[in-house]
Amino acid sequence: MNSRMSKLRRSISRSVFQLNSSLSRQNSLNGLVDLPTMSNTTLVDKFATPSNFRQLRDLIRNNNELLAEVVTAFEEKAALDFHYSKTLKKISIRLHKLTQSVESGIDKGWTNVAEQFDIHATIHSNLGSAITEDIIQPLRSIQSNQQKTIRAADNFVEREIRKLKDKKDETQKMKRSLYVLAKELEKTENSAEREKAQPEKFALRRKKYKDQMIRSEDDYVWQTVDLEKQRRMTENVLRKGVESMESVERQRLAHCQTALGRYKRKIETLGPNLRQMFERHSNNLELAVDSVPEDYIQTIQPSTSAVNHITLIDLHAENFGEVMSSTRRRQNLERVSGVLDSELKRLYNNQTADVMVSNSKQISVLEFIEYLYYKLNDSINIVDGGQNRGFHRLSRFQHKIKDKSGLPMTILTIPLSGDNNSLPPPCLSMEASTAYPSPRGSGEYEEYEKISDDGFYSTTTTSSNGGPIRTTTTFDEPTSSPPTICRVLYDFEPKHADEIEIREGQCVLVEDRIGDDWLIGHVISQHDNSSIDPRSGRFPTTYVSLRQ
The full set of domain ranges for the chain reads 39-296, 307-415, 484-546
For residue 514, pLDDT over 90 is answered with no
Q: Rounded to whole angstroms, how far apart are CA atoms 62 and 65?
A: 5
Confidence band of 443 (pLDDT split at 50, 70, 90): very low
Confidence band of 13 (pLDDT split at 50, 70, 90): low
Confidence band of 31 (pLDDT split at 50, 70, 90): very low
Phi and psi at residue 540, in whole multiples of 5°?
-70, 145
CATH topology assigned to domain 39-296 = Substrate Binding Domain Of Dnak; Chain:A; Domain 2 (1.20.1270)
Range of lowest pLDDT (148-157, 184-193, 231-240, 529-538): 529-538
Q: How many CA atoms lie within 13 A of 438 on its CB side?
A: 21
Q: Rounded to whole angstroms, how far apart are CA atoms 135 and 130?
A: 8
Residues 408/314, Cβ–Cβ less than 8 Å = yes
For 474-481, the CB contacts below 8 A with 24+ separation are 474/388, 474/390, 475/388, 475/389, 475/390, 475/391, 475/451, 476/388, 477/386, 477/387, 477/388, 477/389, 478/444, 481/443, 481/444, 481/548
Q: Rounded to whole angstroms, how far apart are CA atoms 403 and 409?
A: 6
- Output the pTM of the full model: 0.57
pLDDT at 456: 37
For residue 494, pLDDT over 50 is answered with yes
For residue 419, pLDDT over 60 is answered with no
Range of lowest pLDDT (74-78, 190-194, 196-200, 467-471): 467-471
Please indicate whether residue 489 or residue 16 has the higher confidence score (pLDDT).
Answer: 489
Adjacent-strand bridge partners of 518: 514, 540
For 484-546, which CATH superfamily applies? SH3 Domains (2.30.30.40)
For residue 388, pLDDT over 90 is answered with no
Residues 538/498, Cβ–Cβ less than 8 Å = yes
pLDDT at 87: 93
Average pLDDT, the chain: 75
Q: How many CA atoms lie within 13 A of 331 on its CB side?
A: 9
pLDDT at 416: 74
